[in-house]
Amino acid sequence: MNLSPMVVLLLCGAVVMMTSIGVSSFSLFLPAIEAEFGWSRAMATVPYMVAMLGWGAGAVLFGKLADDFGARRVVLGGILLMAAGFLGMGLSQNLWQLSVSYGVMVGMALGACGLTIMSLLVSKRFDARTRGLAVSVIQTAPPLTPLIFAPILFFLIVTFSWRIAALAASALLFFVALPLAWLGASDPDVARGERPGRMGWASCLPYLRNRSMLFLFAARFSCGVAFFQIAHLVGLTMSKGFDLAAGARSVSVFGAAAAASALLFGWLSDRYGRGQILALSYFVRGVGTLLLAVEIPSELLFYGVVALAIGPTFGTVAIQNVMYYEIAGPRMAGVILGLSFIIHQIGSAGGPMIASIAFDLTGSYDEFMVVMGVILVASGLLVSRIKDPDGQLPQPALLTTASQA
């Protein structure tokens, strides 16, 4: 079926909105899992840490498979794997079962049917003049996930149990996300019946020596560490003296702010350059994170600081994904995006664990917030030195050589 770019964009956005439950829902599950098993915050975070590492590994593996064989089978298989993971999560009785079902299965599936592959699909469908905004539309899907699904999951957790909420997520993926992906998940070559040639893993090495790419990798690591703010958002809210319901509302506020900022930063990057707007997103997040370290007197003000500190996260990711695509080119973008996610997910795995240990030791996130704020501002300074990747697209000869590796 030959679908228009706009239809593919809408279908991919709807699918990512549902598959992003895999990462955005954990902060809602966390307090209930702690209470049922009597675990510390650090122990209860282990499945999330495993999932972040699984996401990174899956992004590279499935990105390479999508480069070689097209995205359709990768995305469909990823949705089935994630649905099975949430099913197993709802039936888990101990830490290792949660780590396998949520950590390994859901985490790996995020690399197959999440932002990496969908950003690649959308990047291929749009030209450079509108690519930043188009990819940003995809990036609005994960933040919209908590805005739409957090109240439903919170209701299921409070009214029934966290296990029922996990089973409901599995059903949503199988009965809704899978049919939509069946319709819309295919890249242009696959849609025309063309089979792209395979390329060896060594083909990506020249791109990894690119100075701009190295700066992006370093900044992406700090972005990954800062993802602890999403995983611990409910706990962070409660540590500031607000209740569990306020924590659920914070997740929704984050979702709305992240969707709006992703569109804003994507639009700005199309008009004023990728590197400068990427730096701006890091600066805004850094200042907001520093504000999260101080005492916040009112719930409404806290929501505003959450929007400032965590809201631009997916704007950052959107611009980075476009820059990776424009530096590497369409034939290597899948594996390069995947490699960048290994860097990101190492940070995403370590950040929540470090934050958990800091909280267990001090009863507060404030000290770690100060450190994180400084790191984000430093990352902004680093990426501000990156030139517009439009001038660094790979030459055809390099791509021809790579395709023979």
CATH number at residue 324: 1.20.1250.20
Which residue ranges in the chain fall short of pLDDT 70?
1, 187, 189-204, 388-405
Residue 194 lies in a domain: no
Tens-place pLDDT, residues 224-258: 899 888 878 888 999 899 988 888 888 888 888 88
Residue 404 lies in a domain: no
Number of compact structural domains in the chain: 1
Give me the pLDDT at residue 202, please. 65
Q: Could you tell me if 344 and 54 are in contact, meaning their C-beta atoms sit under 8 angstroms apart?
A: no
Residue 405 lies in a domain: no
| pTM of the model as a whole | 0.75
Tens-place pLDDT, residues 270-301: 888 888 999 999 999 999 999 999 999 899 99
Tens-place pLDDT, residues 65-88: 887 877 888 999 999 999 999 999
Give me the pLDDT at residue 389, please. 52
Q: Could you tell me if 358 and 365 are in contact, meaning their C-beta atoms sit under 8 angstroms apart?
A: yes
Q: Could you tell me if 383 and 219 are in contact, meaning their C-beta atoms sit under 8 angstroms apart?
A: yes
Structural domain of 126: 5-188+200-399
- Whose tokens are 């197993």? That residue is 88
Q: At what angle do helices 115-125 and 5-19 cross, to 10 degrees?
A: 170
Residue 195 lies in a domain: no
Residue 267 lies in a domain: yes
